[in-house]
A and B are shown apart, each in its own frame.
Chain A
Amino acid sequence: SQTIHQWPATLVQPVGSPLSLECTVEGTSNPNLYWYRQAAGRGLQLLFYSVGIGQISSEVPQNLSASRPQDRQFILSSKKLLLSDSGFYLCAWSSGFGGADTEAFFGQGTRLTVV
């Protein structure tokens, strides 16, 4: 069966420090991968998505970047965190072969607090 792992669960980082959040998927190949951010009491904002290794699309301009060094690995990074980067970050995957009408599977999220 497919599983998605996202870590760490919580993170407190000082302003100006770097960030690296990792997400890996098991049990499937060539997944579409997504990074979302969720502000308190708000919906999910799509930050990045990837349809293959090295293929990253950014939805909104921001202080963050994403990379996909392997088929089932998706990394969210920042060189220098801002206070506004605080939030709940969710990684997700969906089938890359399913065409339309595919559901997304989410990791458990990372609560990032920039202080």
Chain B
Amino acid sequence: SQQGEEDPQALSIQEGENATMNCSYKTSINNLQWYRQNSGRGLVHLILIRSNEREKHSGRLRVTLDTSKKSSSLLITASRAADTASYFCATEHRGSTLGRLYFGRGTQLTVWP
């Protein structure tokens, strides 16, 4: 499969704790993106990290990328109940149609108040 794979499949934490989700992929990429999906809704883009970048921040989000290990992590600091959602990584493969994304199966994050 060319999809990314998120780990863990489900994560349950208390408000204020940090949440870390991981993503592994199998091929060379142009970039890796993280998306969020509230139950029954469309996906919302969170952050994009290019293949020549190692770390990126956006608000409470921190993304790392290790192309040698073909893996990425998404850290949400000081989580809130409103962060409860599914989180997906998606990769744009080098040599593939530009804009074509390969999605993983997602991590279901539950943040308890």
Binding site for B on A (CB under 8 A): 6, 32, 34, 36, 41-44, 46, 49, 51, 57, 88, 90, 92, 94-96, 98-109, 111
Q: Are A32 and B99 in contact (CB under 8 A)?
A: yes
Q: CB within 8 A of A100: which of B35, B88, B92, B104?
A: B92
**In the complex, what's the smallest C-beta–C-beta distance from A30 to chain B, in angstroms?**
12
Q: Decide yes or no whether B25 CB sits under 8 A from chain A.
A: no
Minimum C-beta distance from B21 to chain A (A): 14
Establish whether residues A99 and B104, one from each chain, have CB atoms under 8 Å apart when the complex forms.
no
Which one of B39-47, B59-67, B77-85 is at the interface?
B39-47
Q: Which residue of A lies closest to B88 (CB)?
A: A43
Q: How many A-B residue pairs have CB under 8 A?
A: 69
- A111 and B90 CA atoms in complex are apart in Å by 22
Q: How far is the CB of B38 from chain A (nearest CB, A)?
A: 10
CB distance from B33 to the nearest CB of A (A): 6
Within the assembled complex, what's the spacing in Å between the Cα atoms of A106 and B40?
13
B76-108 vs A, CB cutoff 8 Å, 1 = contact: the mask equals 000000000000101010000111111111100
Which of B35, B88, B92, B103 touches A101 (beta carbons < 8 Å)? B92
The reply to whether the CB of B13 lies closer than 8 angstroms to some CB of chain A is no
Closest 3 CB pairs of A and B: A106-B42, A43-B105, A44-B103
> Nearest A residue to B44 by beta-carbon distance?
A106
- Are the C-beta atoms of B42 and A90 separated by less than 8 Å? yes
Interchain CB contact under 8 A, A107 and B48: no
Q: Which residue of B lies closest to A103 (CB)?
A: B45
Which residues of the other chain, B, contact A108 by a CB distance below 8 angstroms? 41-42
Asked, given contacts A100-B92, A101-B31, whether A43 binds B44 with beta carbons under 8 Å apart, the answer is no
